[in-house]
Amino acid sequence: MLGLFKRKPHGETADTGTIEATAAAGLKRLHDLKRRKEEPQGPSAIVMRGAVVEALKVLEAALTAVDRITAPLGEAHETIDTAKGAKESPIRAMLADRYDDLRGQIDATALNASGAGVNLLSGARIGIELALEGTGQGTVAVRSIDLSAAGLGLPAPASGFEDKDEIARIESAIAEAETRLTRAAHTFVTDAALLSRVFATLPMKAPGADIENSAA
């Protein structure tokens, strides 16, 4: 423990109590430094930045899919409007088939909305949770939103649009689905903005780096 003790000039007697106190203090400091090095310090800033980037990729994929779902949902709205005025059964049946095809397109888009291996739209109820220890940010959570046809509340046609009540129910369901889709887009944009702010405030070096350097 070089530097913990000072030599007494020749002829002086060392104060045993002082030496013991100094030694004890020195040993305690070395023990504390070793313990702090060995304790988990949480993920490094580089790891956390990487995790945030991956989360942003997931959100980008989700927002791209939301944009793609807008088109078939809009066409579904037009289809149901046409069905309301259609008088011939074959035409209504054709429109019902088209509406059902559009539901399938929405399902396919939601199912393939993966980014970095995570899908926020498929209804799997798996979101993103980032634990950002040592940054003052706590835990950031991004929830999944089911934007499949079922998740949007779009029922399958049961009567080939022969039933006017069914057409009215589906028309109402489409309007609600459009509202849900808009809210989902707003949620994901808000989450992306939050993660971008988190990324900008992350430290440039790992928590505990100064401790390790001082103990080296």
pLDDT digits (tens, 9 = 90+) for 119-172: 999 877 678 888 766 656 678 888 999 999 999 999 999 999 999 999 999 999
User: What's the mean pLDDT when you consider all of the chain?
Assistant: 79
Task: Give the tokens for residue 137.
Answer: 């940010």
One DSSP character per residue, 142-170 reads E-----STTTTT-PPPSSTT--HHHHHHH
* CATH number assigned to the domain with residue range 45-201, chosen from the 4 options 3.30.565.10, 1.10.10.60, 1.10.10.410, 1.20.1330.10: 1.20.1330.10
Q: Is the pTM of this model over 0.85?
A: no
Which residues, at least 6 apart from 64, have a Cβ–Cβ distance to it below 8 Å?
A: 113
Going by pLDDT thresholds of 50, 70 and 90, the confidence category of residue 28 is: low
> Could you state, in order of their start, the residue ranges of all structural domains in the chain?
1-39, 45-201
More confident of the two residues 198 and 193: 193
Write down the pLDDT at residue 36.
43
Write down the pLDDT at residue 137.
62
Sort residue 161 into left (φ over 0), alpha (ψ -120 to 50) or beta.
left
Task: Work out the average pLDDT over 74-93.
Answer: 96
